[in-house]
């Protein structure tokens, strides 16, 4: 069969058509390839990035407080005042830890931490501008274990969706830094941070260490929190003469060199007054007697102008001690915010009244958190040029001849019990690792081991191992340690049998060797 001979014009036309078709096919092929690449990338992201229910407690896009900082003035001539709403809750002091939580034994201290957490959560939900900072995971864990699901969800949203509640410190308690051992510090931080991270993901890992009540501070603790990833450390107490010197030289904020090389530093801030309470005249807690802010002219006692002037004076006074234009006021104190409404109502009025005069005064006031304060400083100041600190902040003295050093050696028997308890806990963990007992229901369950871990972490509290709590409270600490020892000793007795492949009893029964036979009871000695 013969094909007709095509003219040059027709050949060119067919050639153009084929070229157009090839371009379309090429474009189609490239489109398919890009689509496949996009699908592959999406699949990898879906597999390896924690979305939705794949992350702790179903957390999706986290919006922590440090991602929700207030706006501050970038004018170096202005003063930005960060209000840090907080409460300091001792896990035992005048009352036992559980009495402080429930509010029992009110004649010794009429406070209850469960009510503080209840009212703070309620008040934060009323205004997205409000902020709060909380430190004691040991109390928070109790609250989380007994609250209804809707309350737990409210707290979760405040932490990871609205960015209003910030965890600081993050340990089970605020530990002493002189009498505690390195292992004990690591354990108590591990327990607290594990609880927070399991519940709140990245928002559960604080950026700021918060040691506002211990009686002096060690470089080794600063080194520890620095290695744990904390960006800053705040505390209240240092020797009164050093405080005076640092106020005069604008060095209350510093870079603390936490190792001998001087290469590992952590931004550290000490409070100007040596306290963690509100400025004089501005404590609006039920435990305080300061007048509220009255901003309605028709009411007797109208005092908003007087209050604002006093606050502005306090802000200017603190600004003189800074190398930047940010100041921090701790608005709270021991077991404050039992009635959070009183605090936030007055602070709302104060913020409104101060900011109405900002054009005149150059002072801006807002709710903030410690991490946002640090973020503001880093953005506007040359932090690397801040003065450096080497060594410890020991001994602590509040005034002439008022040294808090006796606790280094007092309650020696209790200190010994805490140290032996820590050693037993490390031994139990070693046996668990060797014998794989942590995953065997016949031996020690995680829940039972946590009894031991909680007791040991509690003993590091700055009123526990120091011996500065009431005698009945010290005895309660001891009782908790003995209960923890029972769990640990039984585990040690069972672990060798498990490791040798011998049968064990389901209820810790009849271990092949009982360490309790060599334990001495020091509880009757001080």
Active site residues: 213
User: Could you tell me if 177 and 211 are in contact, meaning their C-beta atoms sit under 8 angstroms apart?
Assistant: yes
Backbone region of residue 440 per phi and psi (left: phi > 0; alpha: psi in -120 to 50; beta: other values): beta
3-state secondary structure labels for all residues of 187-221:
HHHHHHHHHHHHHHHHHHCCCEEEECCCCCECHHH
Q: Measure Cα distances from 123 to 16, 129, 165, 348, 413 in Å.
A: 74, 11, 11, 12, 45
Two structure tokens written together for 346: 């007055």
User: Could you tell me if 508 and 494 are in contact, meaning their C-beta atoms sit under 8 angstroms apart?
Assistant: yes
Question: What DSSP line would sit under 308-327, residue for residue?
Answer: HHHHHHHHHHHHTT-SSSEE
For strands 402-403 and 208-211, give the pairing: unpaired
The residues, ordered by sequence, that sit 6+ positions from 30 with a Cβ below 8 Å of its Cβ are none
Q: Which of 406, 405, 397 is nearest to 241 (CA)?
A: 397
Half-sphere exposure of 111 (CA within 13 A, CB side): 27
């Amino acid at each position: 069969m013969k094909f007709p001979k095509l003219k040059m014009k027709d050949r060119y036309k067919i050639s153009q058509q084929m070229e157009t078709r090839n371009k379309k096919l090429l474009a189609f092929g490239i489109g398919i390839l890009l689509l496949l690449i996009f699908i592959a990338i999406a699949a990898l992201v879906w597999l390896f990035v924690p979305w939705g229910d794949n992350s702790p407690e179903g957390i999706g896009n986290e919006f922590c407080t440090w991602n929700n900082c207030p706006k501050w003035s970038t004018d170096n001539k202005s003063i930005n005042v960060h209000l840090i709403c907080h409460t300091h809750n001792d896990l035992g002091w005048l009352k036992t830890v559980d009495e402080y939580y429930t509010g029992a034994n009110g004649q010794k201290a009429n406070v209850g931490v469960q009510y503080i957490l209840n009212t703070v959560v309620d008040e934060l939900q009323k205004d997205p501008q409000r902020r709060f900072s909380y430190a004691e995971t040991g109390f928070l864990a109790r609250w989380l274990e007994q609250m209804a699901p809707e309350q737990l969800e409210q707290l979760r949203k405040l932490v990871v969706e609205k960015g209003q509640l910030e965890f600081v410190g993050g340990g089970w308690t605020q530990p002493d830094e002189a009498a505690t051992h390195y292992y004990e510090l690591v354990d108590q931080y591990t327990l607290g941070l594990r609880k927070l991270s399991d519940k709140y993901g990245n928002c559960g890992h604080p950026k700021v260490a918060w040691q506002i009540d211990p009686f002096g501070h060690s470089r080794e603790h600063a080194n520890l929190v620095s290695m744990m990833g904390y960006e800053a450390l705040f505390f209240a107490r240092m020797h009164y003469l050093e405080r005076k010197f640092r106020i005069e030289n604008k060095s209350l904020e510093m870079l603390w060199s936490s190792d001998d090389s001087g290469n590992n530093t952590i931004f550290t801030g000490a409070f100007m007054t040596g306290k963690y309470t509100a400025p004089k005249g501005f404590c609006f807690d039920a435990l305080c007697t300061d007048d509220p802010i009255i901003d309605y002219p028709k009411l007797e006692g109208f005092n908003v102008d007087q209050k604002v002037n006093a606050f502005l004076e306090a802000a200017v006074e603190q600004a003189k001690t800074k190398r930047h234009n940010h100041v921090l006021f701790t608005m709270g104190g021991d077991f404050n915010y039992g009635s959070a409404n009183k605090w936030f109502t007055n602070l709302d009025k104060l913020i409104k009244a101060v900011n109405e005069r900002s054009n005149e005064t150059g002072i801006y006031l807002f709710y903030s958190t410690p991490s946002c304060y640090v973020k503001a400083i880093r953005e506007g100041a040359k932090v690397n040029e801040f003065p450096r600190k080497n060594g410890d902040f020991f001994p602590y003295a509040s005034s002439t001849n008022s040294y808090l050093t006796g606790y280094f050696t007092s309650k020696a028997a209790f200190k010994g019990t805490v140290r032996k308890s820590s050693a037993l806990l490390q031994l139990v963990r070693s046996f668990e690792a060797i014998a794989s007992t942590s995953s065997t229901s016949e031996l020690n369950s995680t829940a039972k081991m946590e009894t031991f871990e909680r007791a040991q972490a509690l003993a590091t509290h700055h009123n526990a191992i120091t011996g500065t709590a009431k005698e009945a409270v010290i005895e309660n600490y001891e009782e908790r340690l003995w209960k923890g020892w029972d769990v640990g000793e039984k585990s040690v007795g069972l672990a060798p049998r498990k490791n040798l492949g011998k049968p064990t009893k389901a209820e810790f029964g009849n271990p092949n060797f009982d360490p309790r036979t060599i334990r001495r009871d020091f509880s009757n000695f001080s």
